[in-house]
């Protein structure tokens, strides 16, 4: 039984990977990778009935895309703060989803 507790639920691994990818892509300014990861976050939210996650991911995605279109529209520091707030919220919600999924399994 101890071994089954240590095994990680595939959903939990997906959540951890998505969160890691979000931060890594933003820190390295790999915008295309970040946009793809945000799409994955949105899908995870939709699959698990968490529409708010999808909306937040889509909001950040739109912010990044609009910044790409008008390079000087949003100062990087402001965008960084916005990203930090959204990622913190997404991580909290995704972690909660993972925890809820494990508890219900």
| Nearest one of 100, 65, 93 to 79, comparing CA atoms | 65
User: Residue 6's pLDDT is what?
Assistant: 46
Residue 84 domain-assigned (yes or no): yes
Which structural domain range is residue 56 located in?
Answer: 9-104
Structure token digits, residue 95? 């972690």
CATH code for position 24: 1.20.120
Determine, yes or no, domain membership for 16: yes
Task: Name residues whose C-beta falls within 8 Å of residue 75's C-beta, 6 or more positions apart in sequence.
Answer: none
Whether 29 maps to a domain, the answer reads: yes
Domain membership of residue 1 (yes or no) is no
- Which position has the token pair 């494990």? 102
Q: Please write the tens of the pLDDT for every residue from 15-58.
A: 778 878 888 888 888 888 888 888 888 887 788 777 887 888 88
Buried b or exposed e, range 34-68, using 16+ CB within 10 angstroms? bbebbeebbebbeebebeebbebbeebbebbeebe
Q: Per-residue pLDDT tens for 79-101?
A: 777 778 777 877 787 677 665 66
Q: Is the pTM of this model over 0.75?
A: no
């Amino acid at each position: 039984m101890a071994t089954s507790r240590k095994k990680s639920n595939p959903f939990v691994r997906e959540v951890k990977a998505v969160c890691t990818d979000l931060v890594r892509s933003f820190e390295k300014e790999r915008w295309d990778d970040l946009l793809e990861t945000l799409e994955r976050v949105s899908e995870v939210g939709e699959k698990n009935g968490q529409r708010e996650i999808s909306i937040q991911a889509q909001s950040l995605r739109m912010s990044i895309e609009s910044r790409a279109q008008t390079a000087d529209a949003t100062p990087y520091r402001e965008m960084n703060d916005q990203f930090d707030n959204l990622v913190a919220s997404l991580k909290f919600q995704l972690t909660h989803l993972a925890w809820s999924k494990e508890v219900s399994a």
